[in-house]
Structure 1
């Protein structure tokens, strides 16, 4: 579970200011002016009410968010990463020999707004990072044969995410938008079409003029779709939820539909379902100086026990597990299996963890994906494991790991537990392979317990740099996952159980509890305070139950009851 430090984050100050000066030469801050009666906004999905429809963002850098917004119910959030500056573009139909006013409202990091392909002089506007909404505006004239232009927004290398909303290209109708839309009416006929122990499926009637729909659970927007059905996942078993739907188009969002109640079913797998808030602990199948334990010795505060680790075999993708009986004081396979069953009877889940700091499992094609799924399922049947933990600290292939986990799910069924333990750098952007894998399997994923240690300083979701070992480090980095597409119930905080358990990043249990309170209740925060609370946050994880035992179980005795007492 130890990870490599990450150094040398490029900030590129020379490139940044050189680019800023160049852009400033074309910068024009203009009022919107008086449009003629024939002028229209030629931009489509200008307020991002239909997700990223009509927009394309480089390197999967863009997404839509419900907060902050300038108008309507959605806005663009685009996050520069590495050498990508989060460029989002739209091709807009225009008329030749015509003048247009280009504008947008922006917030956050360095933000650029511009247009290319005008046939005359391409123009742009920019602003340094802004804590509140600011309008960028400029004008351009099309050439004699220009019938379309490319409108773009982008940030800058190494800078914070930016937000954009209410983009407009006002001028003569280029023929690409048609009549201006009106806000659609509220959807009717909302019904619950199906349930599982962790999901509720919904369906509703088509709304004329709508280009998309937003789904709300207990008053909070949880997903956006273009069709007239959706499945809300990551729910607790045997629990009732209230759902509403709105219709949206470029003109805005409708009122909410009448509410319906959907209740998830009882768990279908062996033993009780996981609690709403859960504690995960890694159990060491080896002796490295921490307390040697049998599985039965793991304290009851732990809800998910990850057995560390499965080993690679000569077959690419395949894994195996051998109990270290000698290193564990003569612990037999039969005792181990009996202890797995006893933990499950007590409501716990036991999974096999794949990887670790020195793990060499590679899944990079369809054959190795199949081998991974088949071998993990074989271990589940042999030892009684409830699922798998992905702790591949030397990289993974999002395409084929997704394929492998979906194949495993097809074999194991809906009771399968899938946990992940990525390094902090792996979850800095939705374009990273680990983050993409988690989003790809969101409907079958249990929890991502990111490792908040051995990482040094990292960017939070507000674009600021935070040093590990603080409440802000935990909350601002968790915010990236919470606002990047994972359900709160799929996010956990991973910390060392003692100073000996990791090279750096240990914090006292009181700091862990403060971060949990900040994220779920809005209390106990440091300088960073999330824009909203996440009462469904799954909980916390530690490396390891053995190091916890070596420190008198101080971590689980303090964090365990706190997690289980969250709202």
Structure 2
């Protein structure tokens, strides 16, 4: 989805330092490799499959070369770029070491695989964070290091965009920070500024996606802001999403590894069912008051900006949803047919599709996710 934005060119003078392509970081005084041209892939399909590729680790599911990623995947998120320390802001992207991934390809083969996928129309993005990659941009220096190092990795590999997968304690709201439109907590403000700078730098063809957990998004309906007796992380992604909604291509909240969440029907919904996905997606497309109506409102996103986030297989995460339940959720949200106990506030034929953690886990389990959902998602 194209976005219209004003190009500020705020980063034109940055000296970029290339991130490593191996387990050892490139010294900062080393010459940066020549950056290949970024791919000219077609836009993300109207109905798409998004999958994470374990590019820097195996995680028990085995390593999948990027050239071997099945064709069903429309967006590949390279997992993960991580900071040198939680508060440094400086990112490193390390290829999986051969002792962990015996079939890992060479740097040249990896780059060739990216180019080949892009030539087929696939978007290849850099995903930042993950469960182990805590990123806390507490200072403007950390913000600037984040922008500089993210740009270096994107340029080195010629990537199409960026995925923000901040988890754990990366984001929170300080006491009194309850105005969605005007956040004051440094880790939130600096992330917003960094993403604006990156999207300004690369222009409207740059793909921006986010993969927060339900606690950082939908739980804001019940609890929002620090100092209210609730966990200060509750709803903490919402000001970031709101500030970037004119530049955001896809929000695929992780509808897994989640506790029960209060929906707009004021009933708790439990992961792993069609009703859970319908209720969680309906919140994003309807909008909702924050903290029970005491802290403003999160306005609805466009259906084209939203996808359902799922585990690709049972070992990939808690909350695996069987294929028929996923199809039931898609049909209910897109056409209003086959809905269960939860009735959405509208029909959303433009709902973008599905995200899966991960491509590796799906390949490990015989590509069930991609093969079962590709045709249904594309309807």
Larger relative contact order, structure 1 or 2 (CA cutoff 8 Å, min sep 6):
2
CA distance in 2 between counterparts of 1:461 and 1:400 reads 31
| Aligned equivalent of 1:416, options 193, 203, 206 | 206
Secondary structure of the 2:356 match is strand
Q: By how many angstroms is 1:269 displaced?
A: 7.5
1:434 aligns with 2:240: no
Map of 2:301 onto structure 1: 486
Instruction: Report which stretch shifted further, 313-322 or 522-531.
Output: 313-322
| Aligned equivalent of 2:51, options 276, 281, 292 | 281
Deviations 1:45-95 (A, max 9, x none): xxxxxxxxxxxxxxxxxxxxxxxxxxxxxxxxxxxxxxxxxxxxxxxxxxx
Q: Which runs of 5+ in 2 are unaligned?
A: 6-37, 172-186, 225-234, 288-299
Map of 1:455 onto structure 2: 258
Aligned 8 A contact 2:39 2:118 in 1: no
1:550 aligns with 2:321: no
1:346 aligns with 2:120: yes
CA distance in 1 between counterparts of 2:323 and 2:163 reads 24
Map of 1:516 onto structure 2: 330
Rg (Cα) greater in structure: 1
| Aligned equivalent of 1:496, options 290, 305, 311 | 311
Map of 1:532 onto structure 2: 346
Secondary structure of the 2:315 match is coil
Map of 1:310 onto structure 2: 81
Aligned 8 A contact 2:252 2:307 in 1: yes
Q: By how many angstroms is 1:365 displaced?
A: 2.6
CA distance in 2 between counterparts of 1:543 and 1:200 reads 30
Aligned 8 A contact 1:377 1:412 in 2: no
Q: How many residues align?
A: 302
Q: By how many angstroms is 1:330 displaced?
A: 3.8
Deviations 1:242-300 (A, max 9, x none): xxxxxxxxxxxxxxxxxxxxxxxxxx972211111111100012112213210111111
CA distance in 2 between counterparts of 1:524 and 1:398 reads 39
Task: Spell out structure 1 runs of 4+ moving beyond 4 A.
Answer: none
CA distance in 2 between counterparts of 1:379 and 1:564 reads 31
Map of 1:374 onto structure 2: 148
CA distance in 2 between counterparts of 1:200 and 1:497 reads 33
Structure with the higher strand share, 1 or 2: 1
1:472 aligns with 2:275: yes
CA distance in 2 between counterparts of 1:200 and 1:453 reads 33
Aligned 8 A contact 1:488 1:538 in 2: yes
CA distance in 2 between counterparts of 1:439 and 1:554 reads 34
CA distance in 1 between counterparts of 2:358 and 2:152 reads 25
Map of 1:160 onto structure 2: none
Map of 2:167 onto structure 1: 393
Deviations 1:16-51 (A, max 9, x none): xxxxxxxxxxxxxxxxxxxxxxxxxxxxxxxxxxxx
CA distance in 1 between counterparts of 2:89 and 2:195 reads 12
Aligned 8 A contact 2:76 2:124 in 1: yes
Give the TM-score taking structure 1 as reference length. 0.51
Q: By how many angstroms is 1:316 displaced?
A: 1.3
CA distance in 1 between counterparts of 2:4 and 2:92 reads 36
Secondary structure of the 1:451 match is coil
Q: By how many angstroms is 1:469 displaced?
A: 1.3
CA distance in 1 between counterparts of 2:335 and 2:61 reads 35
CA distance in 1 between counterparts of 2:236 and 2:138 reads 12
Structure with the higher helix share, 1 or 2: 2
Q: Which runs of 5+ in 1 are unaligned?
A: 1-196, 202-267
Q: By how many angstroms is 1:446 displaced?
A: 0.9
Q: Equivalent residues in 2 for 1:80-479 (5 A)? A: 198=2, 270-285=40-55, 286-314=57-85, 316-326=88-98, 327-328=100-101, 329-394=103-168, 395-396=170-171, 397-428=187-218, 429=220, 431=224, 432-479=235-282
Deviations 1:349-383 (A, max 9, x none): 11111111111222123222221112111111101
CA distance in 2 between counterparts of 1:303 and 1:361 reads 27
Deviations 1:444-499 (A, max 9, x none): 11111111111121111222111111111111111111122211111111111111
